[in-house]
Amino acid sequence: MILGDARSGKLPDHITAFGRALRRAGVPVDSARIASAITAAEIVGVERKDDLRAALEAVLVSRQQDIGVFSEMFEAFFRNPELAQQLLSQMLPKAAKAHPVRRKARVQEALSVAGLKARAPNQGETEIKFDAAMTASDQQRLRHADFAELSASEFRLVEQLVRQIPLPLPPFRARRERAGTRGHRPNWPRALQQARRHDGELLELPRMTPRRQPLPLLILVDISGSMERYARLLLAFLHQATRGTPRSAFAFGTDLTDLRPAFRHRDTDEMLAQANAAIDDFAGGTRLGTSLSQLRERHPRCLVGRRTVVLLITDGLDTGAPEVLEQELQWLGRHSRQLLWLNPLLRFDGYAPLASGASVLHRHAHGMLAVHNLSRLEDLARSMASLMQRG
């Protein structure tokens, strides 16, 4: 393609503005990617919109979960001449819309930050900063806001807030004992040691008291398309809240992904980055039965002596065979202490597990808890403790 006249000077500016809009929407785009996008646009040309879109997506998108954001941003940015700043100096026709276009919250906020107005390409990029002095009404709204309805800036703020929510699970009586002042069994080795110090006199009888320790956790997180907004926040929450607790973490969609190496990082951002690199089926379908079968065959030692508490985070919209799910949930129930279903769909009043997968899961779960906003996460520890005490 030969770029001439006014078009040669405007194309890089438009691609740069598009890359900055993607960055405001949460897509990791740096200056090197923008430079590569400009080169790719010059190579493939602008005669065919599909070719331009494929070229920009190839160099600007590196994560599966950002493809949907890129698609909506591309359609909005290169359809409206005000957003594209009259791309290639040609006015694009505006199609009449019978209904308003519904976009992701990240895309909508990125476009609103741009103001839908033409601005000079050399103007500085608007940065979104959080105001630490939030009003009481803002804090209250954010505590009860559904994770799926958050804008890009709110999502980043909530991602930091969930890391500060504790999950103080009650300790339980272990099989082993330790020396103490109360107990049903005498501590004869310590009693003999004390008697030697007092010329054979036994002044008190030491006891053995049961140890108290946290129960091991098995965390299973659904990373399908319907759980896209919840998976990242809940992974960040559980990574911090369960620190110091024996835990194993897996992500499941169409396949099972081991997140234990990622959870070994102390920094949550590093954990999320490694988890994102390890997951290949993000924002795909859900086959819980197949994933549990892989867990049984490859990682059976994650379930320790029927003492493990399983936290299954999913909306229950399973696309696999209900018979396979039924069989694998029976095995999971036989080898764990309790199965707790953390379901974001409980945000809807009158929710009932009518889907085939949800119905099977509801029969085998010992409890179903909501995890769709900050308020529910703050109450999660109390609810889990109540269910485990009952169990």
**Cα gap 15→136, rounded to integer Å:** 40
Structure tokens at 367: 């409890």
pLDDT the model gives residue 295: 94
- Band (pLDDT 50/70/90 cuts) for residue 49 is confident
C-beta of residue 236 within 8 angstroms of C-beta of residue 269: no
Residue type for position 283: A
Mean pLDDT of 101-111: 60
**Cα gap 87→66, rounded to integer Å:** 24
297-314 tens-digit pLDDT: 999 888 877 888 999 999
C-beta of residue 72 within 8 angstroms of C-beta of residue 108: no
pLDDT the model gives residue 124: 41
Look up the CATH architecture of domain 217-390.
3-Layer(aba) Sandwich (3.40)
**Domain extents for the chain?**
7-114, 172-213, 217-390
C-beta of residue 119 within 8 angstroms of C-beta of residue 14: no
User: What are the residues whose beta carbons fall under 8 Å from the beta carbon of 176, sequence distance 6 or more?
Assistant: 210, 211
pLDDT the model gives residue 4: 29
Mean pLDDT of 159-173: 84
Identify the residue with better confidence: 118 or 373: 373
C-beta of residue 295 within 8 angstroms of C-beta of residue 221: no
pTM over cut 0.75? no
- Band (pLDDT 50/70/90 cuts) for residue 107 is low
Q: Measure CA 79 to chain center.
A: 32
Closest CA to 38 of 14, 61, 58: 14
- What are the CA-CA distances from residue 35 to residues 3, 12, 49, 276, 355 (Å)? 17, 8, 19, 25, 47
